[in-house]
Amino acid sequence: MSSQRTHASGVKRDRRGRRGRIAAALSVAVAVATVTAACGSDSDSGGGSDTLVIAGWGGSFTAANKEFFYDQFQKDTGIKVTIATPGGGFAAKVAAQRAGNNIEWDLLEAPGGDTSKLVLDGNLERFPESLIKEITPLVADGAIRPGPSEPYYLDHGGTVNLIGCNTKLVKKCPTNPREFWDVKNFPGTRGITANNPIFTSLFALAGDGVQPQQYFPVDVNRAMTALKRIKPNVQVWSTSPAQMQQAVVDGEVAIMQAPNTVLVSAMKQVPQLKLHWDGGLLFDEGWCVTKGAKNKEAAFKFIKWYAEHREAQAKFTEKIYSGTGGRDMQKYLSPEAIENLPINKTGVTLVDGKAGAKQQQELGKALREILVG
Amino acid sequence: MLRMTRRTRRRGWQSTFSGLTGLGLIAPFLVAAGVFIVYPFVELLRTAFGEPNGFGNVGDFFQSPAARRTLWTTCLTSLIVTVIVVAAGAVLAWSLRTTKSRLTRMVIALAVFMPLWMGAVMKIYVFTVLLERFGVVNRTLTSLGVIDEPMQLLRTQFAVVAGMTYQMLPYAVLPLYAVYVTIDLNLIQAAESMGASRVRALRDVVAPLALPGLLASTVIVYVICVGYYLTPVLLGGATAPFTASLIADDIFNLFEPAQAAVASVLLLVVAGLVILGGLRLVGRERLRRALG
Amino acid sequence: MTTETLTSHAPPETAPRAVRDTAGRRALTRGAKAADLLVRALAVLFLGVPILCVVVLSFSNAEVLQFPPEEWGLRQYRSFFGSDTWIDAMVLSFKLATVSAAISLLIGVPAVFALHRSRLPLKGLLQAIGLSPLVIPGVAYAVALYTLFVQFRLTSNMAALVLTYAVHGLPFVLLILGSAMARLPAETELVAMTLGASRPRAMVGITLRQLLPAIGASYIFAFITSFDEAVLINFLGGPGTVTLPKAIFDNVKTGLDPNITAIATLLMAGTGVVGSLAFLLRRKV
């Protein structure tokens, strides 16, 4: 629904403004062409058959992807990798690019909560049968997502939002969302990750006693009431990983719900930090190829290359504790790393991204009212 | 002399170009400004008052308590920052103007200029290092015994005000200094020699001369503050964002470009009103000069 | 502090009313002086401490930002110069700023002539439009431009970004060059013409020459504005347009890499030199 509105505002036009727009378009074209000529053609990104444009988050996640995948891929295949860092808003930006019929990005680097939105909007390229056949033995069961009938992305970059607890600051740690919400029996300042309304709402539902099977469709009222109840005890509503990490390291929050990537990274400075996987929410995301991408062949080639390099995947995971889609990854990872990964953990739910994406707008607005209002 | 003027006139020589030549000279500017300033704003208005509800979009905006509160936070915080910036800027610029000590002058000049060169994002980020729980400020205060427990400074409005003040202060000092340069320092001496105290001399002699400049700076600083985006995102808490954060959220996460456009237009209206007020109070020329 | 130079210049207390100066009033003056000193000290402290912090932190060898550093060294500088991402971003920002500031001049210089030396109508309005990027709320401008960029598919177009930055730098040309030109008497050109110079020659030889320092200053201000632009790029950026401020912002949002302290220190040193140059040029006008 909402995406249609996005499209419409870019496409549907009334007639009155057309002449003005043509004049404007001409001016833009002339101006841009002049400068392009003046600058030389080094501004040309994408296009040729031997390039691959990847859109990512920037920062440590993209840096790790570059270190373990992109650089080596470029060396192995001669395909030049260009990285863009929109840093979020992938679904809206891809929708805008498609509406403007100018798809800039070929491959999306695990676009988080936007992954399912992209699927719903029909903005992703379906994996070709040949690719699926080739990679199936190399990737974990269910890694090609969201399901066998809809092969749109390959599991990568998955993180788990789970409960962490600083035993230096509190004696009794909540071990699941219900206890997290029980501020009387488990005192301590809290931090909640609030950069994805779906995850925050699901965590609130779990805290209110809802079973994972009943998460969707989200009972918005119930989730928001639960959040309102705990708000006085929440010191930090983090909107970026760095923010939460700092709050944990500084001891600003004693009990927090945060991505395992953040918590493991914080453990280096706060060894007393304990993780509790029960009620953990696993992100449903992965490598996506944009619908109509200029270099989609290169993008699929990359996905195949990625599946074939499980050692590189293991190194990636050990560096930033993000999951990968490879089969039997425990054989490649060190036992210490597995300890802090969602491997062999009970109580972790893979979030139904599609169901979440349907309510993203509604939940986003409601959460804003709770946080700011 | 007389002959020259006559000859000048006869040949059509004037100290100004004709309107047509002027048009030729300004043509590239017209194209650039038309495409990159005027047209985007026309489109912004069309988006704001277009789908889904036309002018009702504004009503939709004001229906959300969060959006209302955020707009209020934005305006109020900007006001606080502006007052601090202009007041501190006035003192610093005055020191820069009156001091005869080279050292003082250099220290102040460095303090004013260096932040301009640090890099926009770093300038904000350094405040996380300063204000975090075990950051420089809290450590200093605890070791001095001023406070027992580290204070919560980061992710508060205080942090936002500090960060914004840090960025805006140089922009206030420079134009105010330019205003002060035009004030004859002998006037103060004269006033004092007539028995006025220093305070009185400043109040009765300097203030009236500097006031228009101060007002103009106030307008400019406020207008820039209202549109701040990065500082509140990096230093502020999620519970008291700036309208700018909501705008980005509307576009990229809630898929509501119209609401983003409405919020942008409202910011423009606030800025416009402040500028109009400034124009009435101090006049166009002074306001322009306050830009730098 | 011996900053209160004015007092030393004040005439001795010979004036009749000064003799009658009461103790109360003197206390008031002293109080005001102390308050003034305090404000100054605080302001300088406030401006200076963050700078010192960044510089000190840049010489820390730690992997995380912490103050005071536990181990000193050049680790941050080494990893900055060893990282393609940072270097690429820096080079891109440099190129972008160089070209866009030049275009600001190409557009702005003739425009200033037209605005100050012609009988063009609506000059005030045009001037106001040209200055608006400086005074409209940043995020509103970003959203407006975003609409344009999406509509005309410009998000990965380097040329469009260059032009946007050029327009963003225009206000400085209009202001700095404009005020310099306003101070130049137009008649000098005429004098040259009566002495036989053609108008173009008079313009280049007399006016433009005198304006050179102001043109240089405008260029530098426009350059710094582009080089340091961090808001628009968040809305308009695409592949291949990860500028230095954008790279730093991404970094600050997703992880805490102390490399950025080294970058900031280098920036201060670098732009410090360029900036002082601009200041000197501006004062020469």
Q: Which domain covers residue B220, as residue numbers?
A: 64-289
DSSP string, A156-178: BS--EEEEEEETTT-SS---SHH
Q: pLDDT tier at C19 (50, 70, 90 boundaries)?
A: very low
Q: pLDDT tier at B193 (50, 70, 90 boundaries)?
A: confident
Question: For A250, which of B51, B132, B249 is closest by C-beta distance?
Answer: B132
- Decide if B33 is inside a domain: no
* Minimal CA separation from B86 to chain C, in Å: 12
Task: Tell me phi and psi for residue A274, to 5 degrees.
Answer: -115, 140
ipTM of the complex: 0.80
If one compares A31 and A81, the residue with the highest pLDDT of the two is A81
* In the predicted structure, residue C86 carries a pLDDT above the cut 60: yes
- Decide if B106 is inside a domain: yes
Task: Give residue C157's pLDDT.
Answer: 78
Return the structure tokens found at C117: 């030396």
Task: Give residue C85's pLDDT.
Answer: 77
Domains annotated on chain C, with CATH: 5-58 (no CATH), 83-284 (1.10.3720.10)
* In the predicted structure, residue B277 carries a pLDDT above the cut 50: yes
Task: Give residue A275's pLDDT.
Answer: 92
Which of A214-228, C23-37, C214-228 shows the lowest per-residue confidence on average (mean pLDDT)?
Answer: C23-37
* Burial class for C125, CB neighbours closer than 10 Å (0-12, 13-18, 19+): exposed
If one compares B57 and B205, the residue with the highest pLDDT of the two is B57
Mean pLDDT of the residues in chain C: 79
Return the structure tokens found at B126: 């350094």
* In the predicted structure, residue A19 carries a pLDDT above the cut 60: no
* Minimal CA separation from C205 to chain A, in Å: 28
Task: Give residue B291's pLDDT.
Answer: 64
Residue type at position A120 = L
- Asked whether A156 and A325 are in contact (CB, 8 A), the reply is yes
Mean per-residue pLDDT, B87-106: 86
Considering only alpha carbons, which residue of chain C is nearest residue A262? C255
Q: Is A258 strand, coil or helix?
A: strand
Q: What share of chain A is helix, strand, coil (3-state, %, to 5)?
A: 45, 15, 35
* In the predicted structure, residue A300 carries a pLDDT above the cut 90: yes
Q: B34 in contact with A at a CB cutoff of 8 Å?
A: yes
Q: pLDDT tier at B138 (50, 70, 90 boundaries)?
A: confident
Q: Is A236 strand, coil or helix?
A: strand
- Asked whether B197 and C25 are in contact (CB, 8 A), the reply is yes
Mean per-residue pLDDT, A39-67: 71
Task: Give residue C14's pLDDT.
Answer: 43
Q: pLDDT tier at A7 (50, 70, 90 boundaries)?
A: very low
* In the predicted structure, residue C274 carries a pLDDT above the cut 50: yes
Q: How many residues does chain B have?
A: 292
* In the predicted structure, residue B80 carries a pLDDT above the cut 90: yes
Q: Report DSSP state, residue A232.
A: G
- Decide if B219 is inside a domain: yes
Query: Rounded CA gap, C124 and B25, in Å?
Result: 16
* In the predicted structure, residue A84 carries a pLDDT above the cut 50: yes
Q: How many CA atoms lie within 13 A of A83 on its CB side?
A: 28
* In the predicted structure, residue A306 carries a pLDDT above the cut 70: yes
Residue type at position C125 = L
Task: Give residue A46's pLDDT.
Answer: 41
CB contact under 8 A, C111 and B26: yes
pLDDT tens column, A20-35: 555 555 555 555 555 5
Q: B284 in contact with C at a CB cutoff of 8 Å?
A: yes
Strand order in the sheet with A349-350: A234-238, A190-193, A255-259, A160-166, A273-282, A349-350
User: Which is it for strands A190-193 and A144-147: parallel, antiparallel or unpaired?
Assistant: unpaired
Task: Give residue A33's pLDDT.
Answer: 53
Residues of A in contact with B246 (CB under 8 A): 368
- Asked whether A140 and A350 are in contact (CB, 8 A), the reply is no
Query: Rounded CA gap, B220 and A193, in Å?
Result: 37
Task: Give residue A85's pLDDT.
Answer: 79
Residues of A in contact with C154 (CB under 8 A): 28, 32
Mean per-residue pLDDT, A215-225: 94
Task: Give residue B13's pLDDT.
Answer: 55
Task: Give residue A173's pLDDT.
Answer: 93
Task: Tell me phi and psi for residue A324, to 5 degrees.
Answer: -135, 170
Task: Give residue A246's pLDDT.
Answer: 84
Torsion sign across C-alpha atoms A147, A153, A156, A161: negative
Mean pLDDT of the residues in chain A: 85
Query: Rounded CA gap, B288 and A337, in Å?
Result: 61
- Decide if B3 is inside a domain: no
* Burial class for B16, CB neighbours closer than 10 Å (0-12, 13-18, 19+): middle
Task: Give residue A31's pLDDT.
Answer: 56
Task: Give residue B152's pLDDT.
Answer: 84
User: Which is it for strands A273-282 and A51-55: parallel, antiparallel or unpaired?
Assistant: unpaired
* In the predicted structure, residue B12 carries a pLDDT above the cut 90: no
Q: B29 in contact with A at a CB cutoff of 8 Å?
A: no
- Decide if B47 is inside a domain: no
Residue type at position A331 = K
How far apart are the two ends of chain C, measured CA to CA in Å? Answer: 33
Q: C156 in contact with A at a CB cutoff of 8 Å?
A: yes
Task: Give residue A21's pLDDT.
Answer: 53
- Decide if B229 is inside a domain: yes
Task: Give residue B191's pLDDT.
Answer: 80
Q: pLDDT tier at B10 (50, 70, 90 boundaries)?
A: very low
Mean per-residue pLDDT, C96-114: 92
- Decide if B41 is inside a domain: no
Mean pLDDT of the residues in chain B: 84
If one compares A5 and A50, the residue with the highest pLDDT of the two is A50
Q: C153 in contact with A at a CB cutoff of 8 Å?
A: yes
Interface with chain A: mutation pick from C65, C79, C156, C248, highest number of A CBs within 10 Å: C156
Task: Give residue C15's pLDDT.
Answer: 43
Q: How many CA atoms lie within 13 A of B253 on its CB side?
A: 22
* In the predicted structure, residue A352 carries a pLDDT above the cut 90: no
Task: Tell me phi and psi for residue A116, to 5 degrees.
Answer: -70, -35
Interface with chain A: mutation pick from B43, B136, B255, highest number of A CBs within 10 Å: B255
Domains annotated on chain A, with CATH: 51-158+284-342 (3.40.190.10), 160-282+352-372 (3.40.190.10)
Considering only alpha carbons, which residue of chain A is nearest residue C98? A39
| Segment (H or E) for A296 | helix A296-308
Question: For A96, which of C150, C157, C237 is closest by C-beta distance?
Answer: C150
Q: pLDDT tier at C123 (50, 70, 90 boundaries)?
A: confident
pLDDT tens column, C125-160: 888 888 888 878 888 888 889 888 877 878 767 888
Task: Give residue A3's pLDDT.
Answer: 37
pLDDT tens column, C238-264: 767 788 888 888 877 766 677 888 888
If one compares C111 and C85, the residue with the highest pLDDT of the two is C111
Task: Give residue A12's pLDDT.
Answer: 40
- Asked whether B254 and A88 are in contact (CB, 8 A), the reply is no
Which of 244-263 (A) contact B at CB < 8 A? Answer: 246, 250-252
* In the predicted structure, residue A255 carries a pLDDT above the cut 90: yes
CATH code of the domain covering residue B237:
1.10.3720.10
- Decide if B169 is inside a domain: yes
Return the structure tokens found at C214: 């102001």
Share of chain A above pLDDT 70, in %: 87
Task: Give residue A293's pLDDT.
Answer: 92
Mean per-residue pLDDT, A327-355: 87
* In the predicted structure, residue C106 carries a pLDDT above the cut 70: yes
* Burial class for C10, CB neighbours closer than 10 Å (0-12, 13-18, 19+): middle
Q: A368 in contact with B at a CB cutoff of 8 Å?
A: yes
Question: For A237, which of B238, B249, B251 is closest by C-beta distance?
Answer: B238
Residue B9's CB: how many other CB atoms inside 10 A?
Answer: 10
* In the predicted structure, residue A69 carries a pLDDT above the cut 60: yes
How far apart are the two ends of chain B, measured CA to CA in Å? Answer: 39
* Residue C132, C-beta contacts closer than 8 angstroms, at least 6 positions apart: B37, C171
Among C118, C154, C122, which Cα is nearest to C232's?
A: C154
Query: Rounded CA gap, C227 and C94, in Å?
Result: 6
Return the structure tokens found at B6: 């006559």
* Burial class for B249, CB neighbours closer than 10 Å (0-12, 13-18, 19+): buried
Which of 34-63 (A) contact C at CB < 8 A? Answer: 34-36, 38-39, 42-43, 45-46, 53-55, 57-63
* In the predicted structure, residue A6 carries a pLDDT above the cut 60: no
- Does residue B40 have a cis peptide bond before it, meaning omega lies within 30 degrees of 0? no
Q: pLDDT tier at A71 (50, 70, 90 boundaries)?
A: very high
Q: Looking at the 3D structure of chain B, how many domains does it have?
A: 1
If one compares A344 and B147, the residue with the highest pLDDT of the two is B147
Residue C195's CB: how many other CB atoms inside 10 A?
Answer: 8
Task: Give residue B289's pLDDT.
Answer: 67
DSSP string, A6-65: HHHHHH---STTHHHHHHHHHHHHHHHHHHHHHH-STT--S-STTEEEEE---HHHHHHH
Q: pLDDT tier at A178 (50, 70, 90 boundaries)?
A: very high
Mean per-residue pLDDT, B213-238: 87
Q: pLDDT tier at C27 (50, 70, 90 boundaries)?
A: low
